[in-house]
Amino acid sequence: MLQIWRLLLICTAGVLAVPAAGSSADSATIIHVLVAYHSSSGNTEKMAEAVAEGVRLVPHTEVMVRRVGHVTAEELFAADAIVLGSPVYWSNMASEVKAFIDDWQFKFGVFPEFKLKNKVGAAFATGGQISSGKEFTMLSILAAMLGNYMITVSGGGAFGASATTEGNSPGIDEQEISNARELGRRVADVAGAVKRGLERQ
């Protein structure tokens, strides 16, 4: 009788040691997210950190937070997702962010291979007033991503996360930080689904 119990214990331990079908492949897939931004006052940097916090909420993700001028070609191409943030200057993105997007081709050479194809892209913005061009800024960033055959997503708002920093606003509030975290979480979720789908093809 004792031998039967030992045999059952060994069999049970063997079953528990075998991972569920398909789970090992999914757990081994690491998602790399690049959060790149420009910030003069620190407001956009604060939003970038909140986006990164949201990314970290998703298992099997790694996030890199960089100012746009410090991003290398290797970091850009290694990312499964790119979240780009800008302050609003005269209803448009900052020149540093536009220069970074232009560098995708002129410095990093994304074309003609479309090296950013199927990467997930998203945008966030900070602006002084409620209607200061934040949506236009985010749409301009997303348009550049679409032109590079990227898969764009939103979260934390219709076009991405945004914050109002002047006028009647006391600065970036907890709701705006929460929206930025939600954007990061959604980007990581979608990037994971896309990467796992491409790996199965």
Domains of the chain, start order: 30-200 (3.40.50.360)
Measured at the CA of 13, the angle between CA 8 and CA 17, to 5 degrees, comes to 150
What is the share, in percent, of the chain residues with pLDDT greater than 90? 77
Stated as kind and residue range, the H or E segment containing 33 is: strand 31-37
Q: What local confidence, expressed as pLDDT, does residue 148 receive?
A: 97
Question: How far apart (Å, rounded) are the C-alpha atoms in residues 48 and 34?
Answer: 10
Torsions phi, psi for 123 (to 5 deg): -140, 155
Task: Count Cβ atoms below 10 Å from residue 92 Cβ, excluding itself.
Answer: 14
Q: What is the pTM of this model?
A: 0.85
pLDDT > 70: what percent of the chain? 86
DSSP reduced 3-state for 5: helix
126-163 pLDDT, tens digit per residue, is 998 877 899 999 999 999 999 999 999 999 999 999 99
